[in-house]
A and B are shown apart, each in its own frame.
Chain A
């Protein structure tokens, strides 16, 4: 164990390596901000013009804000895509930790610590959010138009005004930080004293946390992704982002558990059962995501009213249609059929390529949600897409690895640990015992 006090590590602002890496994040964010200032010079005067799309005159709403394409905007949009991708992992991990406590689960004890670390990346995410916070008007067209001339914006102006957007955005990170910090810090304290009271405390944080999680994730999805086209309606958008996020997190958790089992730290505690259960959950969320995304599309398709359809019309333009098809088949059918057999969930030749594929699919999903606003005629990958993804990923992975190395790799004295380790049998037959 490290001699540093826990609170320092948890808040990542204390002394030592964590603090240094927090400073690195701030530095990178600051560089991004400076870069943004250089590239978007003068762009703030290029006011976004609200144009009414087909039919929307009748409905009296403006459905599209046309963006002038600049390199600065390309950077910000690429950055937003990468940010939302990694936020998925952060929130998905928080959800899995909360879920663990809510269900008093035993199987997931050995893999809980790594998820606690990923969830605790929330303050780092706040640092990485700064470019989006500062250049919000470059990304979100509604910030530049007068609500009095736009009915949809006026109707939503309680949430959709810049002060509210800024304050709530920062608050979301604070809440995620609070809950992930409490959950991890109790878990780390339990490593030292083994007191059952920590388990009770974590359960309470989880019970409150699940509500806070649902509200904050929904707000985040609406504020940072959906509001790119502020006139749109979808009551499923929050759960849509949640489904994709948990899906990609489960694939990541599977690979991490396997990696740390092979490389040592989790060798004695992660068994077939943990991998199997992650695989089963991954399969469930494959179906859940498809269910949610189909429902959203189906309701809009069936109603066929312009206030809603324009969002998908844009995403059926040019090569976005192909991306949509890729999501239908690649995000659902391929993983569904590959993971259908129960033994596939334990086959490394299936699961490892599948996890990589799932990362790609979730990234394409984020592109599909965000980029059509900037590139309305079709998908076009930019070098910034790659750079932002690698940059944000690098910062987060580095912080995560430091944290993982600085603490015990799994909850050493969790009351359910023994149960998780000893009951590692995987039932290969879901039904009872057949006599033939």
Chain B
């Protein structure tokens, strides 16, 4: 494929999971940040090989859950104690006891919203267009090939060094895709 003026990423193809594991370690150690590994199935140990840190999705979940809990508690407190006080079953106007089931449900609901939308946000999804799919060979990542893609806007990227790194790591069919 001819190289264009606005390259998006460099793609290298690997034949086995072991190959791509070793290559991922080398790319990780070279300090790249905007890169990814594409495999037909989950490869055990790949997170470590890529140097992936704990996902930030957990924070979205946590704050979603906190929001849900406080919403439930304060909503019921406001409605039962303040806005429309009615004594039911001789119970106090507000007690965390009866507010708890609703707060708990809202905790779960908003925590799962936080998880889902946090994940979508962090992954920049939904993405209607991905330049990588322009590559003809790249589609085989869902069949029988393993790929490393390094984006050209990575701070460590250099047109010659990066290609050499991928070549040294055992990558084949190294080519660009344009944006």
Contacts and interface: CB of A to CB of B under 8 A. Distances in A.
Given A428-B52, A429-B55, A434 B122 contact: yes
A424 B53 CA distance: 17
Contact of B54 (A425, A429, A436): A429
Interface string A323-353: 0000000000000000011110000000000
A2 interface: no
B44 A423 contact: yes
Contacts of B123: 432, 434-435
Interface in B102-132: 119, 122-124
B62 A433 contact: no
Contacts of B37: 433
Size class of the B contact interface (CB-based, 8 Å): 20 to 34
B57 A425 contact: no
Interface stretch (A46-54, A159-167, A184-192, A297-305): A297-305
A277 to B, nearest CB: 14
A107 to B, nearest CB: 12
Contacts of A341: 58
A433 B52 contact: yes
A428 B53 contact: yes
A343 B124 CA distance: 25
Contacts of B46: 433
A289 B45 CA distance: 33
B34 A429 contact: no
A424 to B, nearest CB: 8
Contacts, number: 63
A428 B45 CA distance: 10
Contacts of B36: 433, 435
B155 interface: no
A340 B62 CA distance: 9
A242 to B, nearest CB: 21
Given A425-B44, A429-B47, A435-B36, A342 B54 contact: yes
B2 interface: no
A5 interface: no
A341 B58 CA distance: 8
A430 interface: yes
Q: Chain A contact residues: over half helix, strand or loop, or mixed? A: loop
A427 interface: yes
Contact of A298 (B47, B100, B124): B100
A298 B48 contact: no
B133 interface: no
A428 B47 contact: yes
B61 to A, nearest CB: 9
Contacts of A423: 44
Nearest to B48: A425
Interface in A131-190: none
Nearest to A340: B62
Contacts of B89: 302, 304
Given A294-B100, A304-B89, A428 B50 contact: no
A298 B52 contact: no
Nearest to B33: A436
Interface in A7-66: none
A176 B124 CA distance: 54
Nearest to B149: A435
A430 B98 contact: no
Contacts of B44: 423, 425
Contacts of B97: 297-298, 301-302
Nearest to B118: A431
12 contacts: A298-B98, A298-B100, A341-B58, A342-B54, A343-B54, A425-B47, A428-B54, A428-B55, A429-B52, A429-B55, A433-B52, A434-B55
Given A297-B97, A342-B54, A434-B123, 5 more contacts: A302-B98, A429-B53, A430-B58, A434-B56, A436-B122
Interface of B: 33-34, 36-37, 44-48, 50, 52-58, 62, 89-91, 97-98, 100-101, 119, 122-124
